[in-house]
Chain A
């Protein structure tokens, strides 16, 4: 089977410089995903590798939002893909693989944050170290945004990224994180308030 080589960038620039919104989670699963899942289930490692290639960036973004730290995000994504590999047989191919994986990633990241908390018996500091070494023009924005994210509880971070970055709906997020839709809505409201304040501060500084 010819395997897709392109990576799944979370946001693609399309004709006219317009950015394409992320595909809604409830949309039809991509044919590529379905075929790859079937092949991976049959023991084709290359097919699973292609699924990793297609989804690792979005998985990383979700994990990074929840864990804040780069290394933790990598660990959570690896755990999530491993879990997905083991559970492929139970995956219902009628649903989008991306949504299933996002749920696993978000929960793996939340678990990791919980474990870290129990181990250190303290909250993640608001000024968590930010391992960015990007050009200066982006570094300030990244740092401020990550500082603002770190002020939020992990679950609110997960809701924010799943909704505003990944484009999932409240009901879908509720199902992913095992909470009522109203709670997802409320979490998003609180998270957005803080993020908007951070962006305003950045604009005014």
Chain B
């Protein structure tokens, strides 16, 4: 018995309980025939499940989920890019407007200066 087993005696299977349960946890008619028949019933259920249309759909569940996730990711990327482009266009428009204003402002200023100069001179 090692240190671990001394500290945790429950770590080892209890042989008496295990043996008793092994004897109890069997079908009442646990003959070879019973197990062969049980195996056949299990395999029949597997075969029925495979031939069921739902199982075909179930088989597509995972690929469909992956495809949906990929589509969602692609749509998110496209939407983000579109928003970036819209923002860039809007920014460009504002910048252009400001440029136009700043281009015309000195002219106006120059015009008013000229008027003032003309009034002062005459």
Please give the residue numbers on chain A whose beta carbons come within 8 Å of chain B beta carbons, in ascending order. 7, 10-11, 19, 21-22, 45, 48-49, 52-53, 56-57, 60-61, 64-65, 70, 74, 77-78, 81-82, 85-86, 131-134, 138, 141-142, 145-146, 149, 160-161, 163-165, 167, 169-170, 185, 188-189, 192, 195-196, 199
Q: Please state if A56 and B38 are interface contacts (CB–CB under 8 Å).
A: yes
Beyond A11-B19, A85-B49, whether A134 also contacts B28 by CB under 8 A is yes
Contacts of A138 in B (CB 8 A): 23
Q: What chain A residues lie within 8 Å of B23 (beta carbons)?
A: 138, 141-142
B22–A82 touching, CB < 8 Å = no
Q: B18: CB under 8 A from chain A? A: yes
Cβ of B33 within 8 Å of any chain A Cβ, yes or no, is no
With the chains together, A7 CA to B28 CA distance in Å?
17
What is the bound-complex CA distance between A56 and B24, given in angstroms? Answer: 16
| 27 interchain pairs, CB-CB under 8 A | A53-B39, A56-B35, A60-B25, A60-B26, A61-B26, A64-B26, A77-B42, A78-B41, A82-B46, A85-B46, A86-B49, A86-B58, A131-B28, A149-B21, A164-B13, A164-B14, A164-B18, A165-B25, A169-B11, A170-B10, A185-B8, A185-B10, A188-B10, A189-B10, A199-B16, A199-B17, A199-B20
B22 close to A78 (CB less than 8 A): no
Asked if B43 CB lies within 8 Å of chain A CBs, one says yes
A-B contacts counted at CB < 8 A amount to 111
- A195 lies within 8 A of B17 (CB): yes
B residues contacting A by CB (< 8 A) are: 8, 10-11, 13-14, 16-29, 32, 35, 38-39, 41-43, 45-47, 49, 55, 58
Contact B28 A78 (CB under 8 A): no
Give, as a whole number of angstroms, the nearest-CB distance from A193 to chain B.
11
Are A141 and B20 neighbours in the complex by a CB distance under 8 Å?
Answer: yes
Bound Cα distance A81, B38 (Å):
12
Chain A residues with CB below 8 A from B22, complex form: 10-11, 61, 165
Which of B24, B29, B43 has a CB less than 8 Å from the CB of A52?
Answer: B43
Q: Give CA–CA (A7, B33) in the complex, Å.
A: 12
How far in angstroms is the closest Cβ of chain A from B52?
11
Is B46's CB under 8 angstroms from A48's CB? yes
Interface centre among B8, B14, B58, by most chain A C-beta atoms within 10 angstroms, is B14
